A = this chain, B = another copy of it.
Amino acid sequence: MARVVVDVMLKPEILDPQGKAVQGALPRLGFDGVLDVRQGKRFELEVEGEVTAERLAEIEKIAETLLANPVIEDFTVHVEDAS
């Protein structure tokens, strides 16, 4: 069994109100030096068997159609340590 991680983040040109809210809260809580915060989603998929190139292509397809909205979001797919 292997774990594949899909990270989905808003494109840089899309406003991120959640991230901005966190960023605005930091100085009030006494944390300085953080210039920008962006919030996105992380999906961990447990995949049967080995992660072949074919399987990875399928997961790219899943990410594109189900996990991310490609109009406003970018995603990256990577394999994590097998468990």
- Do B1 and A62 touch across chains, with their CB atoms under 8 A apart? no
CA gap between A41 and B22 in the complex, in Å: 13
| A46 pairs with B35, CB closer than 8 A | yes
Q: How many residues of A contact B (CB 8 A)?
A: 35
| CB neighbours of A43 from chain B (8 A) | 19, 22, 37-40
User: Residue A35 contacts which of B1, B8, B61 (CB distance < 8 angstroms)?
Assistant: B1
State the CA gap A38–B62 with chains docked (Å): 14
Residues of B within 8 A of A22 (CB): 43, 66-67
A residues with a Cβ closer than 8 A to B are 1, 7-9, 19, 22, 25-26, 29, 31, 33-49, 55, 58-59, 61-62, 65-67
